[in-house]
C-alpha cells in the first residue's frame, strides 16, 4: 500500500529528523506487529482525519482506494495506544525514507542502527521495499527542461515519449512545447499508447542519457505512460499546443483522441457543469477582472451559463468590465481561463462539484 508515497506527494518529503528525534519516537509502545499493512494504513488515515485522507487518496491507485475504504468502513474502536504506535511507525518510515533520499540506503541504515538498533533499523528499511526502488530517470528530474530538450530532441519519438512519461507533468510539458508540431502529436500518441516497458529498454535509454546510472531495482515490467499520463502533460501545456496535438491525434486516431478528451477539462467544458456547481465555483473568490478576461474568449453558451448563475447586478458589472477593457491578448485570456480551470479541477478532486465526462455518463443522479 503506497500511503507513504501519497503523503509525500501531498505534503512533500518528511522533514529530516535528528537521531535524538528518532530515539524519542522509538520509545516502547503498543505491539502492532500482528496488524496487516492495510489495517495500519486504515488506522493512519482515520487518525489523520477526512481532509488529509482525501488528499492522500488522490495519489493512490483505484484498487488501493477500494481496499482502504473497505478497511476503514470495517474499523470500529481504535485504542489510543494503537493509534500512537501506528503514527510512530509511520513517522519512523518517513524519516528513514528521507535519509535514503539524501544519502542512500547505507546512510539511512547507519543512522537508524545508531538510533534504534540493528534489528529495528532493518525492519523499518524492509518496509520501504517499494519506496526504495530506483525510479528511472531520477537523475534528470532536477535538470532544467531546456537542458533536457537539447539532449533528447534529436532522439526517436519513442525514446522521447519514454523519457517524458517518467518526468513531472510540468517538466514534460515544457519539453513537449518546444518540439515541432508534428513531433508533438507523435510523442503524445506514443505516451498514450505506451503500457509496459522492459527494464532492459529503460536501462539502455538511461545509459545514453547519463554516465553514472542509478540501479534499476524493478525486476518486473514497469508500468508507465498511458492515457492518464498524456492527459496530465496536456493539462500543463498552453492551449495552442494542446489544440494542435489533439487535432493531429483526431486525424490519426479518433478513438484515442476522444478517450483523451473525455479525461481532460478545458474552459469551454464549463457547459458540462450543473448550475449549482457553477455557483460553487464562483464562490471561490474568483477575481472579477480575471472572470471578465476569461469570458472575452468564451463561447456564447459559456457566457450565458456563467451569467445565469450569478446575480443580475454582478453579471452587469462583469459585462461592463468586458466592454470597458476592449481587445484583450489571447495569452491573457488563456491565463485567466486557466486560473478558473484550476479552481474547477481542485473542487472536482475534492468532490465538491461534479463535471460530466463523455456526454454526462459520469453524472450522479
The tens digit of pLDDT for each residue in 329-355 reads 888 888 888 889 888 878 877 888 887
pTM over 0.75: no
pLDDT at 120: 65
Counting the structural domains of the chain, the total is 3
Do 191 and 289 sit in the same domain of this protein? no
pLDDT at 303: 92
Do 83 and 201 sit in the same domain of this protein? no
Do 272 and 259 sit in the same domain of this protein? no
277, 351 contact by CB (below 8 A): no
Do 254 and 271 sit in the same domain of this protein? no
Residue 175 lies in a domain: yes
Residue 365 lies in a domain: no
How distant, in Å, are the alpha carbons of 116, 278, 279, 350 from that of 293? 59, 17, 19, 27
User: Which of residues 132, 154, 178 is at a domain's end?
Assistant: 132
pLDDT tens track for 172-220: 888 899 898 889 999 999 888 887 677 677 777 777 766 433 333 333 3
Phi, psi of 123 (to 5 degrees): -65, -45
Do 127 and 211 sit in the same domain of this protein? no
97, 13 contact by CB (below 8 A): yes
Task: Write down the residue that cell numbers 509511520 correspond to.
Answer: 90
pLDDT at 112: 63
Greater model confidence, 153 or 301:
301
User: Which of residues 242, 263, 284 is at a domain's end?
Assistant: 263
Q: What is the CATH number of the domain that holds 300?
A: 1.10.220.30
CA 259, 265, 271, 274 torsion-angle sign: positive
CB atoms within 10 A of CB 53: 20
- The boundaries of the domain holding residue 295 are 267-349
Mean pLDDT value of segment 147-163: 82
Phi, psi of 33 (to 5 degrees): -65, -25
Do 259 and 299 sit in the same domain of this protein? no
Do 72 and 192 sit in the same domain of this protein? no
Provide the CB-side half-sphere exposure for 288 (13 A, CA): 12
Do 259 and 274 sit in the same domain of this protein? no
Mean pLDDT value of segment 66-87: 81
User: Which of residues 263, 297, 315 is at a domain's end?
Assistant: 263
The beta strand positions in 97-245, using DSSP E, are 196-197, 222-223
Do 109 and 209 sit in the same domain of this protein? no
Do 61 and 87 sit in the same domain of this protein? yes
pLDDT at 280: 92
Q: Which three cell numbers stand for residue 121?
A: 533499523
Q: Which three cell numbers stand for residue 180?
A: 515541432
pLDDT tens track for 256-278: 888 887 777 778 888 889 999 99
- Average pLDDT score, the chain: 74
Residue 59 lies in a domain: yes
Residue 170 lies in a domain: yes
Do 257 and 150 sit in the same domain of this protein? yes
Confidence of residue 94 (pLDDT cuts 50, 70, 90): confident
pLDDT at 28: 56
Amino acid at each position: 500500500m503506497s500511503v507513504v508515497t501519497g503523503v509525500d506527494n501531498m505534503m512533500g518529503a518528511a522533514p529530516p529528523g535528528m537521531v535524538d528525534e528518532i530515539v524519542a519516537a522509538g520509545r516502547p509502545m503498543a505491539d502492532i506487529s500482528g496488524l496487516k499493512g492495510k489495517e495500519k494504513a486504515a488506522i493512519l488515515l482515520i487518525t489523520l482525519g477526512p481532509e488529509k485522507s482525501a488528499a492522500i487518496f488522490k495519489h493512490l491507485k483505484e484498487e488501493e482506494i477500494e481496499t482502504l475504504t473497505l478497511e476503514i468502513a470495517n474499523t470500529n474502536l481504535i485504542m489510543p495506544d494503537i493509534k500512537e504506535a501506528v503514527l510512530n511507525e509511520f513517522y519512523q518510515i518517513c524519516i528513514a525514507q528521507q535519509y535514503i533520499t539524501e544519502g542512500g540506503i547505507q546512510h539511512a541504515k547507519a543512522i537508524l542502527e545508531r538510533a534504534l538498533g540493528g534489528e529495528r533499523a532493518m525492519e523499518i528499511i524492509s518496509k520501504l521495499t517499494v519506496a526504495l526502488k530506483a525510479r528511472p530517470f531520477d537523475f534528470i528530474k532536477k535538470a532544467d527542461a531546456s537542458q533536457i530538450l537539447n539532449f533528447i530532441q534529436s532522439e526517436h519519438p519513442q525514446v522521447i515519449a519514454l523519457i517524458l512519461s517518467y518526468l513531472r507533468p510540468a517538466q514534460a510539458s515544457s519539453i513537449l512545447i518546444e518540439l515541432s508540431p508534428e513531433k508533438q502529436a507523435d510523442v503524445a500518441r506514443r505516451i498514450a499508447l505506451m503500457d509496459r516497458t522492459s527494464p532492459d529498454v529503460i536501462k539502455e535509454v538511461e545509459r545514453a542519457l547519463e554516465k553514472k546510472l542509478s540501479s534499476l531495482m524493478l525486476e518486473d515490467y514497469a508500468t508507465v505512460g498511458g492515457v492518464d499520463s498524456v492527459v496530465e502533460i496536456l493539462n500543463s501545456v498552453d492551449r495552442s499546443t494542446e489544440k494542435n496535438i489533439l487535432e493531429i491525434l483526431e486525424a490519426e486516431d479518433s478513438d484515442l483522441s476522444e478517450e483523451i478528451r473525455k479525461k481532460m477539462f478545458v474552459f469551454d467544458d464549463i457547459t458540462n457543469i450543473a448550475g449549482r456547481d457553477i455557483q460553487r465555483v464562483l464562490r471561490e473568490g474568483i477575481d472579477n477582472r480575471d472572470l471578465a478576461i476569461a469570458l472575452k474568449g468564451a463561447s456564447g453558451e459559456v457566457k450565458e451559463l456563467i451569467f445565469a448563475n450569478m446575480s443580475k447586478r454582478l453579471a452587469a458589472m462583469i459585462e461592463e468590465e468586458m466592454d470597458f477593457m476592449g481587445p484583450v491578448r489571447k495569452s491573457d485570456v488563456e491565463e485567466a481561463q486557466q486560473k478558473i480551470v484550476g479552481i474547477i479541477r481542485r473542487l472536482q478532486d475534492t468532490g465538491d462539484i461534479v463535471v460530466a465526462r463523455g456526454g454526462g455518463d459520469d453524472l450522479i443522479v
